[in-house]
Structure 1
């Protein structure tokens, strides 16, 4: 039978106990930053999963031979990135890894699902609206034409990541709202017989408005990534125009750059 002390230690065991930290005290990189980088890598690679508790700062500082302020600074930097959260009465907890999305013609839902992020969708609007000049130009229809407007809030692990606004031309079949909440838009378009071929996309950044901050659980003025995309089928016909916003603290695009000779 285990001793009382053994049960106590097992109850307070942390996933950090199994991680092989390697801190270089001779490096010009501050120790808190080295620790933060290794913690972030553990979260990205799944060694620290959403919901895991990091345990006591004092125990971690003792184990690594670091000062408590150094450990606290490393943890705070990941709290600021949205990877960790401090919960009263619970401790410091892993929230999720940052979403890293390849810059290619793919569905956000599919990318999140592939990365094990457990995406969910809330359809905020699904209705017909008259096309403005901007939307009409993107979809190749006369201004004022009725188009489908979809607004969706995308979450991972229960936390908002992106607010998606898409416009679809009237030539496309009507999409079921319930199915939009259980899968991605591009999957539904393919199921409807649309062959997605290419897209023109622009990525930018700006500050969150008050309404956007409420939707994405951010502060007003927080950094947002923006994306505008027009997708085309294999005949060159525009089939979707999207204007999306993403939480910069939890989302990034990955680029592959080639040297042109």
Structure 2
């Protein structure tokens, strides 16, 4: 935990980098309190104001939780999504070091709604059924997301594919489809009976709804995906630059 005072890199940025490593360490990653600010600033040989700059950044990102009169603790690792880390669910979980369990997996053929037809540029009156993939996924201990994916009926999916494989890897290796762009909408709601049953929560518990509109490298619409997340297990981050 040493900073280079001769470096051109600002001290608060160096402190932030050290704190990020601390957050990921086995000792702290499950929600342990950090040393108090006085001790930590002395160990880093920086002022408390400089230390607070680093801590404030990590609090804003949801990595640390500050409790007045108590201290600053590491937020227990949840699911982090955002516009700067457009990844498949499997890639997101691998990046976070979370081992995923499939609680449910269903394949069906359904006629898409008018909204989904519009996304796939299909005439609703002449729409054919498309493959729908439904999955309940989570940690070993409990499920935290219920996904429903509709696929463009022009993709020659049969329903016999191994959908336990990473989805976008399957599309690329089996059908030569390389996904590139995801446009997303985030909203909040109460779980309701159906989602509560899937995620093992109360009907009045909050959930986050994440709609993804996925396109390939040629901007052809590939997948309409809607995910229902337990609000206590998902954080969505947005970083904007001016």
Q: Distance in 2 between matches of 1:253 and 1:29?
A: 21
- Structure 2 residue aligned with 1:100, among 60, 64, 80? 80
The equivalent residue for 1:23 is: 36
- Structure 1 residue aligned with 2:172, among 190, 203, 206? 190
Q: Distance in 2 between matches of 1:252 and 1:172?
A: 32
Q: Distance in 2 between matches of 1:133 and 1:100?
A: 31
Q: Cα distance 1:20–1:213, how it changes in 2: closer, same or farther (>3 A)?
A: closer
Q: TM-score, normalised by structure 2?
A: 0.67
Q: Distance in 2 between matches of 1:152 and 1:136?
A: 22
Query: What is the deviation of 1:20?
Result: 7.7
Alignment coverage as a number of residue pairs: 183
Residues 168, 178 of structure 2: 8 Å contact kept: no
Match of 1:136, SS?
Answer: helix
Check if 1:127 corresponds to 2:140.
Answer: no
Residues 103, 143 of structure 2: 8 Å contact kept: no
Q: CA RMSD in A?
A: 2.6
The equivalent residue for 2:156 is: 173
The equivalent residue for 1:232 is: 215
1:28-67 equivalences in 2 (<5 Å): 30-32=68-70, 34=71, 37-38=72-73, 40-41=74-75, 43=76
Q: Distance in 2 between matches of 1:256 and 1:245?
A: 23
Check if 1:251 corresponds to 2:234.
Answer: yes
Q: Cα distance 1:171–1:20, how it changes in 2: closer, same or farther (>3 A)?
A: closer
Match of 1:165, SS?
Answer: strand
